[in-house]
Amino acid sequence: MQQPFRIAPSILSADFARLGQEVDDVLASGADMVHFDVMDNHYVPNLSFGAPICEALRRYGVTADIDVHLMVSPVDDLIRAFLDAGATHITFHPEATLHIDRSLQLILDGGATAGLALNPATPLSTLDHVLDKLSMLLVMTVNPGFGGQSFIPAMFDKLRMARAMIDAGGFDIRLEVDGGINPDNIGEIFDAGADTFVSGSSIFSKRSDQDPNRYDSIIKAFRQPLLQRSR
């Protein structure tokens, strides 16, 4: 059975100088998977990291799901690189490829699950005719490119519409949100239909370097409103 909700810390806001430890710590504190924000300074105006970091984390011993969000254009070469590097799931933006269906099939043929990410102004109709290939729909709740931005309130309606579309079609698609998610708004975002929550700055900025369980209290704060609603 699917987990009713999943917390996916974005390593974009982690301490890169000790990334393996950061990932170990956040997973030990109760995070469900690791979210990889890949930026190319072309599709988005920022540069982050590529497949060698994913491969290094697998070699280091990370066995949790690695949820890759490609903010790059074109996408196919990096899809292949992340498949080879051990990604569990790969999401890309429909505007970033000329052939959405072919890029989705490339992911599926490589043994990962596939997702599409919609920017705040990209309509849900973009997903027409490919919903059967998706395991995840990522609704961007900020404009992509940077951590630390505020959740865009108009995304509540979009989430409700996305949830209705998934449920009406009977699809097994998780509804992921990314951008400005924190313990104060996560409950309301869950109520709007999301079930998978990416967060970067609100998790990694709360670390306490003195505490060996440095992410316990912040992951608990994210889970609490969801646990109350799932009962």
Ligand X SMILES: O=C(CO)[C@@H](O)[C@H](O)COP(=O)(O)O
Q: Give contact residues for ligand X (rule: CB under 6 A).
A: 10, 12-13, 37, 71, 142, 144-149, 178-181, 198-202
Beta bridge partners of 69: 37, 91
* 3 state DSSP class of 214: coil
Q: CA-CA distance, 32 to 28, in Å (whole number)?
A: 9
**Residue 136 Cβ vs ligand X, minimum distance, rounded to whole Å:** 14
User: Any known ligand binding at 29?
Assistant: no
User: Which H/E stretch holds residue 9?
Assistant: strand 6-9
- The first and second tokens of residue 141, run together, are 């709740």
**Residue 46 Cβ vs ligand X, minimum distance, rounded to whole Å:** 8
User: Any known ligand binding at 86?
Assistant: no
Nearer to ligand X, 68 or 85 (CB): 68
**Residue 204 Cβ vs ligand X, minimum distance, rounded to whole Å:** 8
* Strand runs labelled E in 12-112: 34-39, 66-71, 89-92
Q: DSSP label at 206?
A: T
**Residue 22 Cβ vs ligand X, minimum distance, rounded to whole Å:** 15
Amino acid at 122: T
Nearer to ligand X, 16 or 102 (CB): 16
Closest CA to 148 of 103, 189, 178, 116: 178
Nearer to ligand X, 173 or 181 (CB): 181
- The first and second tokens of residue 202, run together, are 């609100």
User: Any known ligand binding at 61?
Assistant: no
User: Any known ligand binding at 180?
Assistant: yes
* 3 state DSSP class of 40: strand
User: Any known ligand binding at 169?
Assistant: no
Nearer to ligand X, 103 or 199 (CB): 199
**Judging by DSSP bridges, how do beta strands 34-39 and 6-9 pair with one another?**
unpaired
Catalytic residues: 37, 178
Annotated binding site for a divalent metal cation: 35, 37, 69, 178
Annotated binding site: 10, 35, 37, 69, 145-148, 178-180, 200-201
